[in-house]
A and B are shown apart, each in its own frame.
Chain A
Amino acid sequence: MNTLSAYIEGIGLLGPGLTDWASSQPILSGLQAYQPEKTVLPPPALLPAAERRRSGVIIKLTQAIGLEAITAAKQDAASLPSVFAASGGDGANCHNICEMLASDDREISPTRFHNSVHNAAAGYWSIATGAMATASVVSAFDASFSAGLLEALTQVVVDNTHSILLSYDTTYPEPLFSTRPISDAFGIALVLAPQPSAQSLVKISVSLTDASADKLTDNALESLRSAIPAARGLPLLRAIALQTDQHVVLDYLDNLRLAVTITPC
C-alpha cells in the first residue's frame, strides 16, 4: 500500500465556536471546554472593494481560513497551487436562483450566476492573492475533506510543490436545508509542503484503509464532525493539537477511509 507524506506548515480553522487555529488547539486537545456558537465570518480583507461587495459566505469563509494558513506558513499565496474541496456551492445563492427559475421572472442576476459555479471560491482566491498556479476544485459529498486532502497530497508528492488545501462547507436555507442539513459554515485550510522546514508543524503520512473512521470523544465536537463534511478533518487537527505521535483514521467514502500518521516536527 502506498503512503503519501507531506509537512503541514500552516493551519486555518473557522467554525461554530472555533475562531482560529491558535485558540482552538486547547479546545481540540481537551484542555478547554468546547462552546458551540454560531460561526462568525470576517470580511474578506484581501479582495478589492468591488469583489468584496459581491462575496457571499463561502468567499468570506475561504478567504479567512486561507489567509490564516498562509500567514502561519509564511508562504506567498501568489505562488501556491491550491485545492478547494467542498460538498456544495453557495447555498443561499443556489436557493435564490432556483426560486427565480420557478417563478414567472427568470431574469437571474449575472453576479448570482457567476457566483453559482463551484469554483467561485477558487476564482476569488486567485483574484485576491494573484495566484496564477493551478486550483483543483473537488467535491465528494460527505467525503469532500479526504478527497481534497488526497488531491493536495498528490500535488505535493508528485509535483514536488507546496499546496494549500481549503476544505469548507456552508449552509442552505430552507427548503434545501431539510434535504441537506449542514448546520453552519465551517472550514479548514492546510498549507502542505514536500520537505521539512522551519515552519513545519507536523509530518503526515497518509494511506488508504478500510478501517472505521475515528470519532471525537467530546460529544459536541463529534456532533460537529458528523454534521459538516469539512469537519471530518477535525480528528487530524486534534491529533496535531496533541503535539505527540498520533494515528487517526479519517472518514472518506463508504468503503474507503484515510489512515494518517502524525509526527510532530
Chain B
Amino acid sequence: MNPLWLSHFTATSSLGCGLGETLDALRQGRAGLHPCTFDTVNLPTFIGEVAGLDAVQLPANLAEFDCRNNRLALLGLSQDGFTEAVHAAKAKYGAQRVGLFLGTSTSGILQTELAYRQRDAATGALPENFIYRTTHSAYSVADFTRHYFDLSGPAVVVSSACSSSAKVFASARRMMAAGLIDAAIVGGVDSLCLTTLYGFNSLGLISAQACRPYDAERNGISIGEAAAFALLQRQPEQLDADAVLLLGIGESSDAYHMSSPHPDGLGARMAMQDALKMAGLQPAEIDYINLHGTATQSNDAAEGKAVQHVFGAHTPCSSTKGTTGHTLGAAGGLEAVICALALQHGLLPAGLNTQQLDPALHLDYVLQNRAQPLKRVLSNSFGFGGTNCSLIFARAG
C-alpha cells in the first residue's frame, strides 16, 4: 500500500483528555482503572471511566444526539486541535472528499438501557424523549460527527466488536486508494454500558481486579471507554522525521467460535503476516508490538502463540489494557494513538498490573517503561466472532 500520513490524532480515555495527559500517564505508569461505581452496576470489577462526561454539552442544533457515547465523541474531538484540523482538510479537499470511518461496538445503547427502566406501565412504551436513530443506532456516532463537521462525503460505522476501530483504517485505506476521497477521519468511540459489563460477566470474562494481561494468574478484562481519532491523508513529499505513517494492515477471520479465539491464534497470525506483507517488512523490522492483550486466559494464550510464531521471542511487546482497560470498539483506535505516541517519543509503554508473566508464553513482555528509539510498531486488535486486524505504523524518518 502507499503509506498514509496520520496528520493529526488524539485520544481521550480514563488516562485523560488528549495526547498530553495520555502520554503523561503512560510515562508515569499511571493506570486509569478504578473499582466500578458506574450507574447501578453491582459487579466486583474495575473500569476505565472517562471523567466529566455528565458535564459535556452537545451543540444545541445537535441536541437530539445527546447520549454518553456522543458526549465522549465530542470530548475526544475537542482535544489537540483535531476539530480545526478536520475543518482545514475540508477547506483543502472539499466537504465531499473527506470520508468518515468510526468504530463502535455498543454505540449509545446505554440510552436504551435507561429508557427500558422508564417504560410506560400500561403500554410498555419507551419514554417520549427516547430517540433511537441518534443514540442507540450503531451509526449514531458517525451521524453525529458528520453533522458536527458538516461533511458530505461517504460515512460509515464499522462494528465488528473489539476490532472495530482498527478495521476503520482498512476501510479508509481502500476508499482513499479507490480515489473516492482525499482524506479520512478514522477512529473509535465506545462508552460504558450495562450490556457489556453484565455481558462479559455472564461469560466469566470480567476480572475482580484491575486486569493483568499476560500474567500467569490473569483472570479477565477490565472494561474501559475511550474516543480516539486520526486524520489520514496521502503521504506528502516532505514530512518531519517524527510524522507517523500507516504502512500496512492485515485483516482475517478465525472461522472458529463466536466468543473464543482459535486456540493457536491462526487468525491472529494471518492478520499480523498480512500486515507485514502489505508493508513489505520482515518481522525483525518491527520494534514493538502493542498486543490486544485483554487478560482473558484464552485471548492472551492464543495471541501469545501467534506472536511467537510470527516474531519469535525477542520483539518487545505489551498490552496497554492494564492502563486503559479494554475499550472494546475504541481499543483499536486508542492503541493506534498509543503506538503513534510511542513512535514519536521513543517510549515502549509498560504493561501494568502484570506481576508474574505467563511462563507458557515466551515473549519479551515489557514490564517497565523503556526509552528507546522506535521506527516501526505493530498493533493488534481482535474481537468476538473471530475478527482480527493488525496495523503497522512507522516514523517518517
Contact = CB atoms under 8 A, between A and B. Distances in A.
A134 B199 CA distance: 26
A141 B105 CA distance: 15
30 contacts: A98-B109, A98-B113, A99-B116, A102-B116, A110-B199, A113-B195, A113-B198, A117-B384, A118-B159, A123-B258, A123-B384, A123-B387, A126-B254, A126-B385, A127-B386, A132-B270, A133-B253, A135-B160, A136-B171, A137-B164, A138-B156, A139-B139, A141-B140, A147-B154, A151-B171, A153-B178, A154-B177, A154-B178, A158-B174, A256-B153
A41 interface: no
A117 B252 contact: no
Contacts, number: 216
B179 interface: yes
B154 A108 contact: no
A172 to B, nearest CB: 9
Contact of A110 (B131, B133, B203): B203
A141 B119 CA distance: 24
B303 interface: no
Interface of A: 2, 4, 51, 78, 87-89, 94, 97-99, 101-102, 106-110, 113-120, 122-124, 126-127, 129-141, 143-144, 147, 150-151, 153-155, 157-159, 174-176, 178-180, 208, 253, 255-256
B385 A158 contact: no
Interface residues of B, number: 68
B142 interface: yes
A78 B252 CA distance: 12
Nearest to B256: A127
Given A88-B137, A141-B143, A153-B178, A256 B154 contact: yes
Contacts of A147: 154-156
Interface of B: 96, 105, 109, 112-113, 116-117, 119, 123-126, 130-133, 137-140, 142-143, 146, 152-161, 164, 167, 170-171, 173-175, 177-180, 194-195, 198-200, 202-203, 251-259, 266-267, 270, 383-387
Contact of A154 (B123, B139, B146, B175): B175
B202 A109 contact: yes
Contacts of A99: 116
Contact of B252 (A98, A102, A109, A134): A134
